[in-house]
A and B are shown apart, each in its own frame.
Chain A
């Protein structure tokens, strides 16, 4: 009785130590670039040239204040915020309506529509930019925030519909029968029953979509070419062009751009994990 037990304990120890070593190694790998960005942002340039590894010595806030003064970071930050909030609200609303139709109704073209959404998730945005650019020039939206908001909404719809269809279909159908007996029409059922029950899925979707929009570069680069209309990501690449020889200043810029998502992550780690694994795990 005792022998297998102690053998197992030794076995456990033999796997635990290498396991911890491997995990610590990968954790350091994951965290080091973030650490590097954070410490460099608070270093003076001579300090950075002398020692890239260590903590700032002396510690300076100069880069952060310079980044706010010299670039147009406050404007870009505000633009990113507007674009992210607007795209996420609109795309979630229209996707929820479409997903409700797919999950609750039987109609001609339902399977085709749903399959089209799945297929569209694969289309590279690079394929779409040129016709969209011509379109935005023609309707006078080029270099305005609505141009990228419209495009982000479109890009977010396929995944959002897919995720919400899978969630809506998992709700018990008895609930909807009961609602229709109580005299709710379909829109009432959507608004009063489906949406409140789907809050976890909606929050997850909002978080994942916000991450996508905040971090997106290609669309923003093509459609917002004027410096005062940029969002943070193309702004940062421009910032890098201007200040190539001031590495701590550039790291201050990337740090500022990163903080909102890191905060969102710290508060809602579970939401990220759920949103990103949704659809794959059933």
Chain B
């Protein structure tokens, strides 16, 4: 009797800690890779060197960051990259809808248009450096079709460098959008579209009034993912294509943090920059939580 009681006792307490045992390995890695660095970066950003060499808490790093015109330029450049998200979304949608019409060879088209997305960003960057060069293919093409006046040193011009990088990002990300939208389209109920056709809706009417409203959730999802990309994942494009130049015309926040941390050896500034970027992405975290939770309502 005594024995049985104690065994159920340990049984329930084991059952209580059991889920935490399953979570432990992942949690350790998440603490090392995310939580510790985030706390540490906030801590470092608030440390400042005083005249007597003692470190004290203060906002000097932030003051320096906010007075730095390059910081504003880098933040603005991330902002300008965000502008390519609508173009990217519309193009991906257009292709997905065209493929959804089951045109001849749609599977081949899907395979080909998705291909750029599996290429590594540094590879895409290095190839586009040649394509966009002064004697590159794009300028050669422009000359050949009599548009020679459009020829530019795309990556060497303050005015054109960001649009050129945007175009490169759109090139790679479009396949992702297309595949995402196409998958959603194929899960739509066919009857509604057929009903619209029978009612005499033409191609555009059908898709604008019937298809698009049903895609709103997945469009929202894609837009959020791409906004995150433009803020948090453009380092590799900029690093391989321009290293942030000419001047600072294509420097983005990630690259500027990296430069302060490893080239300029100013950890305080790098940390303050990182905290600012983190604050900006917090807006996206809220959006992300809303979206992801909606698709998983039954889980948590």
Given A94-B26, A269-B111, also A169-B122 (CB < 8 A): no
Closest residue of A by beta carbon distance from B43: A131
Chain A residues lying within 8 Å of B254, measured Cβ to Cβ, are 124, 126, 218
Q: Which one of A130, A150, A281 contacts B33 once the chains associate, using CB atoms below 8 Å?
A: A150
When the two chains form their complex, are residues A19 and B33 in contact, meaning their CB atoms are under 8 A apart? no
B160 at the interface (CB under 8 A from A): no
A119 at the interface (CB under 8 A from B): yes
Chain A's nearest CB lies how many Å from the CB of B121? 6
A1 at the interface (CB under 8 A from B): no
Chain B's nearest CB lies how many Å from the CB of A87? 11
B189 at the interface (CB under 8 A from A): no
Given A19-B103, A130-B44, A279-B295, also A240-B32 (CB < 8 A): no
A193 at the interface (CB under 8 A from B): no
When the two chains form their complex, are residues B233 and A124 in contact, meaning their CB atoms are under 8 A apart? yes
A33 at the interface (CB under 8 A from B): yes
Bitwise, A212-223 to B at CB < 8 A (1) or not (0) is 001111100110
When the two chains form their complex, are residues B98 and A121 in contact, meaning their CB atoms are under 8 A apart? no
When the two chains form their complex, are residues A127 and B274 in contact, meaning their CB atoms are under 8 A apart? yes
Q: How far is the CA of A251 from the CA of B126 in the complex (A)?
A: 8
Chain A residues lying within 8 Å of B300, measured Cβ to Cβ, are 102, 110-111, 114-115
Those of A82-138 within 8 Å (CB) of chain B = 91, 93-95, 97-98, 100-103, 105, 107, 110-111, 113-135
Chain A's nearest CB lies how many Å from the CB of B59? 19
Count, A-B residue pairs, CB within 8 A: 295
B149 at the interface (CB under 8 A from A): no
Chain B residues lying within 8 Å of A202, measured Cβ to Cβ, are none
Bitwise, B149-172 to A at CB < 8 A (1) or not (0) is 000000000000000000000010
When the two chains form their complex, are residues A98 and B113 in contact, meaning their CB atoms are under 8 A apart? no
When the two chains form their complex, are residues A33 and B124 in contact, meaning their CB atoms are under 8 A apart? yes
When the two chains form their complex, are residues A155 and B33 in contact, meaning their CB atoms are under 8 A apart? yes
Q: How far is the CA of A131 from the CA of B32 in the complex (A)?
A: 10
Chain A residues lying within 8 Å of B261, measured Cβ to Cβ, are 129-130, 133
Q: How far is the CA of A110 from the CA of B18 in the complex (A)?
A: 13
Q: How far is the CA of A281 from the CA of B114 in the complex (A)?
A: 18
Binds A, one of B48-56, B61-69, B81-89, B278-286: B278-286
Chain A's nearest CB lies how many Å from the CB of B170? 10
Give the size range of B's interface with the partner: 35 or more
Given A23-B99, A33-B128, A277-B179, also A105-B18 (CB < 8 A): yes
Tell me the interface secondary structure of chain A in the complex: helix
Q: How far is the CA of A250 from the CA of B261 in the complex (A)?
A: 29
When the two chains form their complex, are residues A122 and B175 in contact, meaning their CB atoms are under 8 A apart? no
B147 at the interface (CB under 8 A from A): no
When the two chains form their complex, are residues B22 and A20 in contact, meaning their CB atoms are under 8 A apart? no
Residues of B bordering A, CB below 8 Å: 16, 18-20, 22-23, 25-27, 29-30, 32-34, 36-38, 40-41, 44, 94-95, 98-99, 101, 103-104, 109, 111-124, 126-128, 130-131, 136-137, 140, 171, 174-176, 179-180, 183-184, 187, 202-203, 218, 221-222, 228, 231-233, 235-236, 239-240, 253-254, 257-258, 261-262, 267, 270-271, 274-275, 277-278, 281, 284-285, 288-289, 292-293, 295-296, 298-300
**27 residue pairs from A and B, CB less than 8 Å apart:** A16-B104, A19-B103, A26-B95, A27-B109, A30-B113, A34-B116, A52-B130, A98-B25, A101-B23, A102-B23, A110-B19, A115-B300, A120-B30, A123-B281, A124-B254, A126-B257, A127-B274, A130-B44, A130-B261, A150-B33, A154-B34, A158-B30, A169-B296, A218-B235, A218-B236, A254-B126, A277-B184
Residues of A bordering B, CB below 8 Å: 11, 15-16, 19-20, 22-23, 26-27, 29-31, 33-34, 36-37, 40, 52-53, 91, 93-95, 97-98, 100-103, 105, 107, 110-111, 113-135, 150-151, 153-155, 157-158, 161-162, 165-166, 169, 186, 190, 211, 214-218, 221-222, 233, 236-237, 240, 247, 250-251, 254, 257-258, 261-262, 264-265, 269, 272-273, 276-277, 279-282
